[in-house]
Structures are given as C-alpha cells and as structure tokens.
Amino acid sequence: MARPSWDEEMRAAAIATLDSGQWVKGARGAAFGLAFANHCGALGAAPCQNGSSALWAALRIAEIGPGDEVIVPSFTFISSTTCVLLVGAKPVFVDIEPEYYCLDIEQVRQAITPRTKAVIGVHLFGQVYDSELVELCQKENIVLIEDAAQAHGATQEFQDGSIRTAGAMGDIGCFSFFPSKNMAVGGEGGMLTTIQPRFQDRIVGITNHGRSPDLEAIQLGSNLRMSEVSAAIGLSQLSHLDDWVALRRQNAEQYTNALTNHPSLNAPKVRPGSQHAWHQYCIQTSEPDKFVTFLDERDIDARRYYTVPCHRQHVYSKHPQFTTTLAETEKASSSLVAIPVMHGLTFSERQRIVEALIEYD
C-alpha cells in the first residue's frame, strides 16, 4: 500500500545533520516549520513527534479539558478521537457524508451544545472536508482542529474564490509524517500549523515543555520535538511533495477511468472545487472481502480501513454512544477497499492494477 521515498538527496541531508553534531533544537527544525507553513499558506508551523501528539497538543493549545465536548467523526483513525479523552474532554460522534466520507455538516450543526468547544474535522483519505464546516465553526465561535494527517497537498476553493491548502483550513492543523503518508521524515513525525495569531507562539512552545523563548513554562506542554535529522529529511521531501501528489492524482484518474460503468465497483468521488491528495484510493463494493481476495491472488495489496468505527471500539465501551447507529459510517466501514495509489508505483505495477480492476466482476 505504501513505499517510502528515499534518495541520495535525502540521505545526504540526514548524514550532514548527523555530522553537524546538532541533533535536536537546531536550525533544520525551524527551517522545516517555516517551509511547511509557507507551503500550506499557514501563519506558522511547528514540527513535532507524530500526528497523534499534534492532535493532543492542538486540544491543549485550544484549552480544551474536562467538561468540554469535542465533535468528531467515528469513521477515522482512532487517534482522531482518543486525543479528546487524553485531555479529559468528551468526544461526541457524528455521522459522515455518504460520498466524501468527511463530517456531515448538518449532523455537526445538530450536535452543537453549550459545552461544545471544538470540532475535529478529518480530511479522510486525502479528501478535504466541506468548506462550510469552517464557516459553521466561525459562526458558532468553536475552534476547528484540522486533522490533515492524510491530506498533504490537498486543496479546496472557498466561496470567496480563495484556494486554501490543507493545514490552512482550520484554526490549528495537525499532520502526520508516518512512512505511509504522502511525505515522510524517515520515521515518526508530525506538524502543527495555525492560521490564528493567538496560537502562533503556542504551537511552538507546547512542543518544548510549554516554554517561552526565555525558557519559562507558560503553558502545559511536553517534549514533543522532532529530531534535526527527521526535519532535514522532511525539508527534502517537502520539495518533492507537489510532484508526488500530482503522480497520485494521475494514478487515481487512471483507476477511475477503468472503473467507469463497472458492474460491481464504485470509484471514489472528489468534492467539487477541491484537489484530492489521494493518500488512499478507496473503492466501494458490496463484497469487500471477495475483492481483497481477488487482488491478493494477483499479488496486489489491498486493505479495508476502519472496519470497526471508533465509537464501537472497546475503549468507548462505557461511552453513551457505544451502541449508537451511524448509518453512513456503518456503510463505509463495511464496503470500502483501498488499493495502492502511491506516487512510487511503476508503470507496470499501475497497469497490472488497472487490468485487475477491469477483469473483476
């Protein structure tokens, strides 16, 4: 499903950083944050340990805690929701859209209460959430935390005509650089971004024990810093991100063309006005296990993601929504199969996948 990109440029950047003797808290981390913020169009950015720590940090920065409610999707990776538990707040699960698998705006609107302090919007599989979510959170004075762990390079046109990149579609953005993602850092890694001046200094400080530049602890933080070696690799990878995402879009387009009028497989749809990042290409089918077996027999990797919705997992067994039915969430969890769409696919690999899609009935 993924093949991390690694070349001599990235190797040289890592070795040079090791040879420098500055392995933490150096210029490369600062440069990576600045470059990433510029790429996203964010006001600021701070590298951190991973995407999960970025989500925890975002809630801390927004001062979310006991007694607060945070609206979340259930069809997502588990850390998009357990971060709320880690700060002592209550996750409130809502359903997703039937076509794009992101938060259903009307469901979010209905779930808002006086205790709602934040919404965690997930750009799932690389598809950005509806821009109306941004407008709703602004209207209701609710912090929008943008889970962009799967959306490096995704964009969306807003009603004012502006085009925003993932990382600049919420008050605080959270990225992951896990090796399977659209770009990586040679191991675990993450990034916090913000478009809000009031959060600009806090996203940096929280990754360094909550300390200010004069080393006084002014907020509750921890050591969430990224190593200089990882930051150096990330800087190199970031310079290739746009080209890599373009390749993913070409792969996805070829798959979608192959699935036109297919009798049993439905290609994923792309939200109008947006550019999908294609972290995953998820096909809908009524017989997902059969489809996975078919591809496996042809040495093509395929995965079913999030087959147990978050609110149905054991960690939420005492949550009041544990037995709640979220219709679109249940449908997605029981019907989607992801196939390789990574930018590193060779021509022959891509052709083999296309031929398998056409052959399957």
Query: Is residue 173 over pLDDT 80?
Result: yes
Distances (CA, A) of 33 to 27, 46, 123, 183, 231: 10, 5, 21, 14, 9
How much is the pLDDT for 155?
98
Say whether 143 sits in a helix, a strand or coil.
strand
Q: What is the mean pLDDT of residues 295-317?
A: 98
Q: For 48-89, how does the pLDDT look when each residue is reduced to its tens digit (9 = 90+)? A: 999 999 999 999 999 999 999 999 999 999 999 999 999 999
Say whether 200 sits in a helix, a strand or coil.
helix
Q: For 241-263, how does the pLDDT look when each residue is reduced to its tens digit (9 = 90+)? A: 999 999 999 999 999 999 999 99
Q: What is the mean pLDDT of residues 296-322?
A: 98
Token pair of 197 as six digits: 């001046």
Which residue, 301, 323, 300, is CA-closest to 311?
Answer: 323
Distance (Å, rounded) from C-alpha 23 to C-alpha 224? Answer: 15
Q: How sure is the predictor about 216, in pLDDT bands with cuts at 50, 70 and 90?
A: confident
Query: Is residue 168 over pLDDT 90?
Result: yes
DSSP state of 45: E
Q: What is the mean pLDDT of residues 30-59?
A: 98
Going by their DSSP bridges, the two strands 336-339 and 281-284 should be labelled as: antiparallel
Q: What is the mean pLDDT of residues 21-37?
A: 97
Distance (Å, rounded) from C-alpha 217 to C-alpha 185? Answer: 28
Domains of the chain: 8-238 (3.40.640.10), 241-359 (3.90.1150.10)
How much is the pLDDT for 90?
98
Query: Is residue 221 over pLDDT 90?
Result: no
Contact at 8 Å (CB) between 76 and 124? yes
How much is the pLDDT for 215?
77
Token pair of 132 as six digits: 């109306």
Q: How sure is the predictor about 177, in pLDDT bands with cuts at 50, 70 and 90?
A: very high
How much is the pLDDT for 42?
98
How much is the pLDDT for 209?
83
DSSP state of 124: G
- CB atoms under 10 Å from CB of 53, counted, come to 25
Token pair of 190 as six digits: 């993450």
Residues in contact with 147: Cβ distance below 8 Å, sequence separation at least 6, in sequence order: 51, 55, 76, 80, 120, 121, 122, 123, 174
How far is the first Cα of the chain from the last one, in angstroms, to the nearest whole number? Answer: 22
Distances (CA, A) of 71 to 31, 93, 280, 354: 33, 6, 24, 38
Token pair of 26 as six digits: 């150096």
HSE, CB side, 13 Å, CA atoms: give it for residue 302.
24
Query: Is residue 110 over pLDDT 80?
Result: yes
Q: What is the mean pLDDT of residues 273-289?
A: 98
Contact at 8 Å (CB) between 55 and 79? yes
Contact at 8 Å (CB) between 5 and 342? no
How much is the pLDDT for 300?
98
How much is the pLDDT for 214?
74
